């Protein structure tokens, strides 16, 4: 099956296209299953307002929109409703209540900030020191240990800003991969930066050194488009390249995830 469970919407303020446009593009791109996992809202206890996610007040409309599309296109594509969530210990009880109340199909783990974005910077732009690497490792492992998430999205996100894949990165990667393998949590081979890497001649993620270690540690992979525009679902080049890369690595690759049971 050709599937993608990492799809955003305009509610995150950095994606383009209507919800229905993503569905139509997924059908055009040959997907049999499409999961929406926009950035999770958080009910902050402070007056902080994030500029990369919907608010809790906007969430019901998100659910309604995706549920309507499920019905409208049920004969053409399977649509799942989820969220991309961080691990914010102080707010996990609220998140669990949200999942149950709205009967979400799944959530994926996007480790963007250490414990909260109210005071900690984005790992993708600010992991330039060993201290930040340590925080990324700690929160990645803590989040996976909860058992809530279907998989760990862009596990090599830190390479978007860390200058080189050094011995500290190797150690972090082994720890994350061994935890994922032990808990049987897939790692996402995220193709969202492949066009950027190619255009600018840079190496962010998916990072080959990370994935060589993941293969050696017996991890399982799943391809994620991380779609922020509809064209990324219509163009199959990077998806096919990812499949071939994983095949060469001899890493077990899955196309479907586990969903919540109610």
What DSSP designation does 40 have? P
In a domain, 259, yes or no: no
In a domain, 261, yes or no: no
Cβ atoms of 158 and 190 within 8 Å: the answer is: no
In a domain, 15, yes or no: yes
Q: Which of 181, 254, 173, 234 is nearest to 31 (CA)?
A: 234
In a domain, 7, yes or no: yes
Q: Which of 261, 257, 199 is nearest to 33 (CA)?
A: 257
Give ∠ CA 195-177-104 in degrees, rounded to 5. Answer: 75
In a domain, 260, yes or no: no
What DSSP designation does 12 have? G
Instruction: Quote the domain boundaries for residue 18.
Output: 3-254
In a domain, 126, yes or no: yes
How far apart CA 239 and CA 151 sit, in angstroms, is 18
**10-residue averages of pLDDT along the chain (262 residues):** 98 98 98 98 97 97 98 98 98 98 98 97 98 98 98 98 98 98 98 96 97 98 98 97 98 98 93
In a domain, 67, yes or no: yes
Q: What pLDDT is stored for residue 232 in this prediction?
A: 97
Q: What pLDDT is stored for residue 11 in this prediction?
A: 98
Q: What pLDDT is stored for residue 39 in this prediction?
A: 98
In the chain, the number of structural domains is: 1
Q: Where are the alpha helices (DSSP H) in the chain?
A: 19-28, 59-72, 92-102, 123-126, 130-145, 167-183, 194-200, 208-216, 231-234, 237-249
The CATH number of the domain where 117 resides is what? 3.20.20.140
37 forms beta bridges with 82
């Amino acid at each position: 099956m050709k599937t993608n469970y990492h799809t955003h919407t305009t509610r995150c303020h950095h994606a383009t296209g209507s919800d229905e446009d993503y569905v139509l593009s997924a059908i055009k791109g040959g997907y049999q299953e499409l999961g929406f996992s926009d950035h999770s809202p958080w009910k902050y206890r402070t007056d902080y307002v994030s500029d990369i996610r919907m608010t809790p007040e906007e969430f019901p409309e998100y659910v309604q929109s995706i549920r309507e599309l499920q019905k409208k296109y049920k004969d053409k594509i399977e649509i799942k409703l989820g969220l991309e969530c961080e691990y914010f210990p102080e707010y996990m009880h609220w998140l669990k209540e949200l999942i149950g109340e709205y009967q979400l199909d799944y959530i994926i783990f996007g480790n963007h900030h250490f414990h909260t974005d109210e005071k900690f910077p984005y790992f993708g732009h600010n992991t330039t020191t060993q201290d930040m690497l340590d925080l990324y490792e700690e929160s990645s492992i803590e989040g996976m240990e909860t058992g809530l998430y279907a998989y760990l999205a862009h596990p090599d996100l830190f390479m978007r800003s860390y200058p080189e894949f050094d011995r500290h990165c190797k150690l972090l990667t082994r720890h994350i991969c061994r935890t994922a393998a032990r808990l049987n949590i897939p790692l996402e081979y995220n193709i969202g930066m492949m066009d950027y890497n190619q255009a600018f001649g840079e190496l962010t993620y998916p990072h080959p050194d990370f994935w060589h270690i993941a293969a050696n540690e017996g991890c399982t992979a799943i391809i994620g488009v991380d779609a922020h525009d509809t064209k990324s679902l219509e163009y199959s080049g990077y998806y096919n390249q990812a499949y071939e890369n994983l095949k060469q690595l001899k890493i077990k690759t899955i196309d479907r995830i586990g969903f919540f049971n109610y």
